[in-house]
Each structure stands twice: as C-alpha cells, then as structure tokens.
Amino acid sequence: MKRYIFNITFLISFLVIFSIIVRIYYGDFEEALATELDFFPPDESLPLSECKDWGGGVRDFHIEPGHGAKEVSVLMYHRVIDEDDLGENHFNDNDELHSTIILKNTFEEQMALLHEHNYTTLTAKELLLFLKKEIEVPKNSVVLTFDDGFKDNYVEVYPILKNHDFHALNFIITAAITKRDPKYVANAYQYLSTSDIQNSCDVFDFQSHTYNFHKRAFSYSPYLIVKPEEEILEDIRNSITNLGGRNRAFAYPYGAYDEKAVSILKELDFEMAFTVIPELAKPGIHVYEIPRIEVFETDTLKDFKRKINLIE
C-alpha cells in the first residue's frame, strides 16, 4: 500500500512537472511549427512569366488639364468570405467578425457601386505617375489592394473583379504560397496556390508583402521594425525572386515602417510602398508612404461612398 501511494505520487509529480514544461514551451513550438510548414522556396520563381506586365503602357484617359482627380482613394481589403461559409475561425473572442474579413455580398455591392459610377481602377504605375503629377486620372478613380494573398482572393474576389473588368494590386507573403492546390476551405487559413496565382494574374498585379516577415517579434513589434537590416533585406529580396523580379510596389506588414524600412525598399529599387494610414492619396506625397483606406464589413454604404471619395 505504501509503495502504491508512493508510485502514484511519483507519477503525479512527473505529470505536473512535465505539463508545466509543455505549457512553458507550447507557444514557441506552435509558432515554429506554423511558420515552418510548406514555405515556398526562397530561390524559386512563381509562374508569372505569361502574366500581364502591369508596368507597361499607361492608359491615356483623355482628360483636359485641370479636370482630373485631385486625390485618389486607395482601398485596402484582406479576406472576402461568403456568408454561407463563415466558420469559427472568422470570429474573434468576442464573437465579432475579424476586421480583416468582409462578406462576399457586401464586396459585390461595393464593386457594383464602383461600376455604376463608372470608376476606373488604376494600376500601380498609373497611381505613381498621378502622385508624381505626371498624368491626370479620371475623377472617379480608385486603387484596389488586397493584402496577404488568401485563397478566397482567387475563389471569391477574382470572378467579381473580372466581371466588372476591374483589376487590383495583391500583396502576397510569398513564402505562404503553396505548390499544392488544395480544395478551398473558407474556415482554414489557406493562401493562394501557384496555380491560383497563374490563373488570376490577368486581374491581380501580384506584389511583395515580404517573403516571410509578416510577423511580430516577442516584444510584439513587427519584424520590419525590430529585425536587423540585413535580415529584412534578405527576406524582401527573396520575395522579389519569388515574384520573378517584380518590385514595383510593396505593402508594409501591419502598415509598420520606419526610415530604415524605406531605405531598404529604395535599395531594392521599389518604386512605391503602401501604408495603412487612412487618407486619400494626393499628388506630391511621399511615394514610399502611400496611404490606404481599409474597408470594413461594418461600413455603411455612406461610409463606403466617403471612402471612395464619391461625390454625388
């Protein structure tokens, strides 16, 4: 009996100590496992060779001097999910839809509104020239941007944009792109596959959102702020390699940037970079700090109209 009690105590002490260890290290292992899985190789190129070169000809909008837009709205989206597909991963702890998600219906309405008002979706190049005051663009102009490159961008967004003959910038975390092309599961954290990219590059201009630096350090500061310059340079360079040398535009993860980040982008010959400062983009601003206005599911139609600078 004494031995039995001793054995049980010994067992329990072991379980307690071991579960403490598991608790201590669980987060580190979880994070390391999540980031390690299936990286797109840093030295390979995505199948973009047959895609449209978005830097080519700039459209002539035939605008008389002084009649173009004074400022342009750059809209930012992340994920677009069909209401029927909503799952637990789409909600936060307070049972609210994640702010980065917008329902497909809402998105369709917004695009229809843009179409209705004859909006022109500008390319990155056109926006840049507009900001540099080299061209004029129509009054109803907008730039659509999507961050992170989730798979729903292909499944839900692509057909809608294609339907309206719109196009958009898509800032992808290139390491997250998968070579396999799994079935779309809305509730999972799926990123675009190589074939999704290949099939949607007539609508999306894929640009860099880092290779794998869309992360926060232990201090919660974004990698782009706290990591040494060489590492950031290396990471973004990998994303350029993945993108087959495309380095026109960059979007700062979490919108976080500093002078160092800007100088790195300049060194890598990026032409412009996007923040998340919710303002309209006006000619003459710093092209490495282009503001973007995020669109939320909770926005009313009125909110959205304001965001796209629609004056009726």
CB of 182 to another protein, least distance (A): 17
CB of 43 to another protein, least distance (A): 17
Nearer of residues 31 and 269 to another protein, judged by Cβ:
31
CB of 3 to another protein, least distance (A): 6
d(C-alpha 211, C-alpha 172), whole Å: 8
3-state secondary structure 51-80: CCCCCCCCCCCCCCCCCCCCCEEEEEECEE
CB of 36 to another protein, least distance (A): 5
Nearer of residues 3 and 133 to another protein, judged by Cβ:
3
CA angle 88/93/98 to nearest 5° reads 65
CB of 189 to another protein, least distance (A): 17
CB of 22 to another protein, least distance (A): 8
Nearer of residues 185 and 217 to another protein, judged by Cβ:
217
DSSP H stretches of helix in 65-216: 104-116, 124-131, 152, 158-164, 194-200
CA angle 229/232/236 to nearest 5° reads 140
Nearer of residues 43 and 312 to another protein, judged by Cβ:
43
Neighbouring residues of 36: CB distance < 8 A, sequence distance ≥ 6: none
Nearer of residues 215 and 305 to another protein, judged by Cβ:
215
Span between the terminal Cα atoms of the chain, in Å: 87
Can you give the binding site for another protein, defined by CB under 8 A? 3, 6-7, 10-11, 14, 17-18, 21, 24-25, 28-29, 32-33, 36-38
User: Helix, strand or coil for residue 165?
Assistant: coil
Nearer of residues 7 and 187 to another protein, judged by Cβ:
7
